[in-house]
Amino acid sequence: MAAVTSILSTAALTVSVAYAVLVVVYQAVQARYVWRADRHSPTPVDPMGALPSVDVIIPCYNEDPLLLAECLRSVLAQDYEGQLRVYLVDDGSDNRSRLEPVHAAHADDPRFTFVPLPHNVGKRKAQVEAIRRSGGELVVNIDSDTTIEPGVVRKLAAKMADPAVGGAMGQMVARNRHATWLTRLVDMEYWMACNGERAAQSEFGAVMCCCGPCAVYRRSALLKVLDQYETQYFRGQPSDFGEDRHLTVLLLKEGLRTEYVPDARAATLVPERLRPYARQQLRWARSTFRDTALAGRLLPRLGRYLLLDVAGQNLVPLLLVLTVLTGCAQIATATVPWAPILAITAATTSNCAFALWRSREARFFGYALHTALNIFLLLPLKAYALCTLSDASWGSRILPAIAPRGHGNDLPGTPPPARAVTGPFPAVRPGIPRQASAQPGDEASERGRAEWTAESAWKI
């Protein structure tokens, strides 16, 4: 028994130290490049130059009419002075009759093109249909449950002034951040992903995933990869999710840069309950594993940091699993797992310290709770995703509730808001810029959902 205890203690110490050191080193290197990225000035816009034409594509499937109306209002509120057209693609919605008042409200607006598809083909093919019908120099993709600040199109277009840039993404925040404990954690998760991971990757022009709710692409670049994008297969089966990550990797393969624009902010709805959140994370994990293999061959030319980044994102979860398992084994032998406890505490402290330094927001003390979510939910999901990579099922649509009045989950600055606005966007340290059409069936919390009628459509 003593020999077993000794072996377990040695194993626990080894993997725990490796885990803690990797997390701290990875976070420190990431912080260095984030700091460098923050020092870059915004891309200047030539006041005498012609602004590129922009097509905003909004795929829509069984969307709540209120959410779609809010999305369209935020697009109409853009301060972009160039040509702007909006392509609303209805992907065979079952509730099309309920959406008709929203469509009718823009029927006479020459900027709008309504594309009704006869049956559901999925977000990817809906996007492709709109891309082929449109002709703008830039294509902005926005999810139908997302609202954007008035300057988003202008800021994304400014980033695309560099012809080497093929795509760029804005900063994502949770519209319904205050709805539940989970939405608060997810909002912090988004903030960390955007202002940590994506910001550092952007320093090398290699953001590995331009998030679907708010991203811009150069049409000439899209046309080069459109067929590959539309017909992605994995192990002989069509792949219908993870389209944003796959498209980003295809652009990187073409030698184009992908960037992050932190002050182009978009607010998107996130799951309010664990079951739809778990389904979402399972899809994302499968997509990440699939496209990491595709992106692996690109890493040497993208820079040493990207090698560390991808290695860290894959090794850190593995070492955390080993740390937890050796800790549990120690508990089974009546030994206090001090090494795993200290390692997990050190890694959690490192993550929280980075967020607190970058945001100067006390709420990120609460990000420590994400460690528990990671250990008990996300790690098992990633393991399951790795074992079921060939599963092409989507799962169910995540449709969080519209928050009741007082939640303050709308973007400031959009035309007449549907509910009270208190400003969802986190503050940032001075000098630092401020981060799907799916399948039906997810449980939708109905708390606070307004009744929709033709008369009330534009009184929100």
Q: Are 59 and 139 in contact (CB under 8 A)?
A: no
What span, in angstroms and rounded, lies between the C-alpha atoms of 307 and 317?
16
What span, in angstroms and rounded, lies between the C-alpha atoms of 336 and 328?
9
Helix (H, G, I), strand (E, B) or coil at 80: coil
DSSP bridge pairs for 265: 171
Is residue 39 exposed (0-12), middle (13-18) or buried (19+ Cβ within 10 Å)? exposed
What span, in angstroms and rounded, lies between the C-alpha atoms of 112 and 200?
36
pLDDT of 423 reads 40
Q: Are 19 and 323 in contact (CB under 8 A)?
A: yes
Q: Are 381 and 275 in contact (CB under 8 A)?
A: no
Q: Packing angle between helix 338-359 and helix 2-38, nearest 10 degrees?
A: 10
Concatenate the DSSP letters of all residues of 161-203 into one string: TSTTEEEEEEEEEETTTTSSHHHHHHHHHHHHIIIIIIHHHHT
- How confident is the chain (460 residues) per 10-residue block, as mean pLDDT? 86 96 95 88 61 97 95 96 96 92 92 94 94 96 97 97 97 96 98 96 95 96 94 76 90 96 96 96 91 83 89 93 95 93 97 94 96 96 91 54 38 37 37 36 35 28
pLDDT of 394 reads 55
- State residue 369 phi and psi, 5-degree precision: -65, -20
Q: Where are the beta strands (DSSP E) in 143-299?
A: 146-148, 165-174, 214-218, 233-234, 237-238, 257-268
- CATH fold group of domain 52-305: Spore Coat Polysaccharide Biosynthesis Protein SpsA; Chain A (3.90.550)
| Tokens matching residue 374 | 């990671």
Residue 60: name the closest of 140, 110, 116, 104 by CA.
116
Question: Residue ranges per domain, the chain?
Answer: 2-31+307-387, 52-305
Residue 306: name the closest of 30, 34, 38 by CA.
30
Q: Are 390 and 289 in contact (CB under 8 A)?
A: no
